[in-house]
Amino acid sequence: MCESVLTSSFDMLADGSRVGDGKSVGNDQNTDDVDYDGPIITAAGPGGPGSGGPWIWIANGTNPSMFAPPLVRRPAPPPPPEGFSADRIIESFRAEALGLDEYDPYLDEIAEDENLVDEESEPEVLFTVELGALTLSAEILILGSVEAHDWRSPPERAVVVELACYLALHRERPVSGESLRSALRPDGSKEQSAKTLRTYLSMLRKALGPDALPSRPSGGYQLASWVTTDWERFVELSQSDDVEDALEALSLIRGRPFEGVPSGTYAWAFSEFLVSEMEVAVASLVTRVVDQLVQSSDLERALSAVRQGLRAVAGEYGLWELYISMAAQSGPAALSRARSEARAALGDDAPPG
């Protein structure tokens, strides 16, 4: 009788939901760490896909918590669809308000990069340590063939190195996306799309490290100061009055600036007269160094300095004249070699001597 009364009570409490059959499952069964001394009554609530699943209520007459609300375990909500993160949506609105090109996916890369330090949870000291762990001496070699030196990882495409070169040689101010797209024309005619440019920028950050090209709230792109070029080192060394510094600057020359770049690439380096500027600087430094070495009667190093400069400006007539003149002072063997090299470079236009 007690069992039927309890079952009837559950019918009322469940408000029409399906009720267990009142069958005893054992007086000594313990399902929630409470000792039971009577039959166990069950009641079930509705459930189904998307509702968190059915719930089951188990109790008996001596359990003091029998009238507590049933425990409903609902599955965790699914993650937001890819591309709809709160940060992405907020940044898209911000980019639109500032009149920027489009959303920069680098903002998501910052959040996902496990090597970066959470600035809110860690002191600035740890951020300094993280910077120290990066390669802070990445270099782009352009005094000769273009090469990526000491990068975190090899660039995935050659155009990524060209992008880095352009930013490195225009580092005085942020460069707009429009200017970058205009400069990168691999086929010589078709301008890069905004989407393609963002892909190249992501590749650049991956190859150099995320801090090499930080996102700028004001828009534009500017390369970090620790990503340098051999041309910048050349300029710095050539400004010294010390002849040894000048000779070190000349030692950076491996050939003509941007030597051997494929047709249709690096057109900006020639159209902006950057190559011409470099050639003039090299010829000027060679002339100054030779004068200093001749005054100290160091003809051997003077000849070497001229020959090194000619690697960058093989068509510079004045340097060939200087080379032949210095070789004549060194002896017949040096003069014969200088004449032969001049004819090979200039043909019939080689200076007499």
Q: Which of 9-23, 67-81, 267-281 has the highest mean pLDDT?
A: 267-281
Class (C level, CATH) for 230-349: mainly alpha
More confidently predicted of 28 and 75: 75
pLDDT tens for 114-138 read: 333 333 333 333 334 344 444 478 9
Please provide the average confidence, as pLDDT, over all residues in the chain: 75
Query: Residue 92's pLDDT is what?
Result: 58
**Number of H-type helices and E-type strands within the chain:** 14, 5
Query: Residue 187's pLDDT is what?
Result: 53
Per CATH, 139-228 and 230-349 having the same topology is answered: no
pLDDT tens for 339-352 read: 999 999 999 999 98
pLDDT tens for 188-240 read: 455 567 888 889 999 999 999 989 988 777 788 999 999 999 999 999 999 99
> What does the domain layout of the chain look like in residue ranges?
1-78, 86-133, 139-228, 230-349
pLDDT at 13 over 80: no
Average pLDDT value for residue range 266-287: 96
Check: CB of residue 165 under 8 Å from CB of residue 159.
no
- Answer whether CATH 1.10.10.10 is correct for domain 139-228: yes
Check: CB of residue 261 under 8 Å from CB of residue 275.
no
Query: Residue 218's pLDDT is what?
Result: 76
More confidently predicted of 169 and 56: 169
Check: CB of residue 305 under 8 Å from CB of residue 250.
yes
